[in-house]
């Protein structure tokens, strides 16, 4: 599947005249609890040609692609990513620490991770994770609670707990988060 994904990313680069700096897995595969029917949530950070940044014409700062049977691919422009990092947004914090990396411009991940440390805000990260957990709980109707759904609630709760106890960016993967309840 990695070959298929990297091929798609190369196709996206050519078609959209961008250069991908970093591409990773996000979602249950990166969180550490995929199920047999899990799709591949591929996320990437890219740059456009310099002239598009100098233009007065507005351009989208993201690329979304139709969901296929197994692939859910979308990416953010580097400017959008940096703005979100400066606001302590958890999404780029998680992407940059994904255990499944499909592509990385040399040194990009380490440089961005170091930058993320300077913008971490415990309060906003805690609120984000509690909101995710609340949303996951609200999506459970009167149906039987499946194990994957339980993990969709547990992981953000543990991430919020990590932010409270460690005052640092929570790990993306659930394994280190589980250490909090031992």
Residues 16, 11: Cα–Cα separation, whole Å: 8
Residues 162, 136: Cα–Cα separation, whole Å: 19
pLDDT digits (tens, 9 = 90+) for 53-106: 888 888 889 888 877 878 899 999 999 999 999 999 999 999 999 999 999 999
Q: Are 175 and 151 in contact (CB under 8 A)?
A: no
The 3-state DSSP class for residue 101 equals strand
Query: What's the token pair of residue 7?
Result: 């091929």
Residue 131 pLDDT more than 90?
A: yes
pLDDT digits (tens, 9 = 90+) for 32-58: 887 877 889 999 999 999 988 888 888
Residue 34 pLDDT: 79
In CATH, the number for domain 2-119 is 3.30.460
Residue 129 pLDDT: 96
Domain ranges in the chain are 2-119, 122-181
**Of 180, 138, 124, 182, which is closest to residue 157 (Cα–Cα)?**
180
* Better-predicted residue by pLDDT, 143 or 102: 102
pLDDT band, very low/low/confident/very high, at 140 (cuts 50, 70, 90): confident
* pTM to 2 decimal places: 0.90
């Amino acid at each position: 599947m990695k070959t298929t994904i990297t091929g798609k990313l190369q196709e996206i680069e050519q078609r959209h005249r961008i250069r991908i700096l970093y591409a990773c897995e996000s979602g249950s595969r990166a969180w550490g609890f995929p199920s047999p029917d899990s799709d591949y949530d591929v996320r990437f950070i890219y740059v456009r040609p310099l002239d598009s940044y100098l233009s007065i014409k507005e351009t989208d700062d993201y690329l979304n692609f139709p969901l296929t049977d197994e692939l859910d691919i979308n990416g953010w422009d580097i400017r959008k990513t940096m703005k979100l990092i400066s606001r302590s947004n958890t999404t780029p914090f998680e992407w940059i620490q994904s255990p499944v990396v499909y592509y990385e411009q040399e040194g990009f991940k380490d440089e961005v991770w170091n930058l993320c440390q300077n913008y971490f805000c415990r309060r906003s990260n805690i609120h984000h994770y509690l909101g995710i957990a609340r949303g996951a709980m609200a999506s459970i109707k009167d149906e039987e609670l499946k194990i994957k759904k339980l993990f969709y609630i547990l992981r953000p709760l543990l991430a919020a707990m990590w932010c409270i106890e460690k005052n640092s960016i929570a790990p993306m993967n659930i394994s280190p988060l589980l250490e909090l309840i031992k």
